[in-house]
């Protein structure tokens, strides 16, 4: 997907219980107040699980993630094509996760087979996004804030969550504009860092 100076795509990702949902709300409020025209691509896995397609209903976790990836690509393309038909001088597409998140949840062999079937490389996947911001799970450094109560689809123990977080960071680490947002003493501090780095990217085009 070729980059466009008029349309920029940002991925917000993170480990389990990282504050991603709240972060997206903060971003919407902040960026809209600054005059940005925004489009939001919802998280695919949550939609599928709510509809009955889940890791525990599929034959394997890799099979579930294949479904996530297929729907992810379709939704991304739909939002991108819609943006291209809008008259706004500048648009920012904000995605709740991106295709490389699948790698963090799949076996290495399963992800390699997925890439082969899609006819894509990791570099081609990275090129779909202009910047990626990863929110670190509270299981790493803010354990008292880790909870399963606010997301019915979350099943991970803190140890499992920390391992997933590490795999997601590794999956995205090859992106040229990848930023990791660590936990702070207070959640507002974490959000302040995220907003500042997003501002820097959008306003200055700097490496985040």
pLDDT at 89: 83
**Domain segments of the chain: what residues?**
7-204
Helix (H, G, I), strand (E, B) or coil at 48: helix
Q: Which CATH superfamily is domain 7-204 in?
A: P-loop containing nucleotide triphosphate hydrolases (3.40.50.300)
pLDDT at 126: 97
The helix-helix angle for 108-118 and 61-84 (nearest 10°) equals: 40
pLDDT at 88: 85
CA 137 – CA 163 distance, rounded (Å): 10
Please, what is the end-to-end C-alpha distance for the chain in angstroms? Answer: 21
pLDDT at 105: 94
Q: Are 177 and 130 in contact (CB under 8 A)?
A: yes
Locus of tokens 């992810």:
72
- Tens digit of each residue's pLDDT, the chain (208 residues): 444 568 999 999 999 999 999 999 999 999 999 999 999 999 999 999 999 999 999 999 999 999 999 999 999 999 999 999 998 888 999 999 999 999 999 999 999 999 999 999 999 999 999 999 999 999 998 898 888 766 656 677 899 999 999 999 999 999 999 999 999 989 999 999 999 999 999 998 744 3
pLDDT at 152: 59
Q: Rounded to 5 degrees, what are φ and ψ at 144?
A: -65, -20
Bridge pairing between strands 7-14 and 131-135: parallel
| Residue among 64, 19, 13, 2 at smallest CA distance from 171 | 13
């Amino acid at each position: 997907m070729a980059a466009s100076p008029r349309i920029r795509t940002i991925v917000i990702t993170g480990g389990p219980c990282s504050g991603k949902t709240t972060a997206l709300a903060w971003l919407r409020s902040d960026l809209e107040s600054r005059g940005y025209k925004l489009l939001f691509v919802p998280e695919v896995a949550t939609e599928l699980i709510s509809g009955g397609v889940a890791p525990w209903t599929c034959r394997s976790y890799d099979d579930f993630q294949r479904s996530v990836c297929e729907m992810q690509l379709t939704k991304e393309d739909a939002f991108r094509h819609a943006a291209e038909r809008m008259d706004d001088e500048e648009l920012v597409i904000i995605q709740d996760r991106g295709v490389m998140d699948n790698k963090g949840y799949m076996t290495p062999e399963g992800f390699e087979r997925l890439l082969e079937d899609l006819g894509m490389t990791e570099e081609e996947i990275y090129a779909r996004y202009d910047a990626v911001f990863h929110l670190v799970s509270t299981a790493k450094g803010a354990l008292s804030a880790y909870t399963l109560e606010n997301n019915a689809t979350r099943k991970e123990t803190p140890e499992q969550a920390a391992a997933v977080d590490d795999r997601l960071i590794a999956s995205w680490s090859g992106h040229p504009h990848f930023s990791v947002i660590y936990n702070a003493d207070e959640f507002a501090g974490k959000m302040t860092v995220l907003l500042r780095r997003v501002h820097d990217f959008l306003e200055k085009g700097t490496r985040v």
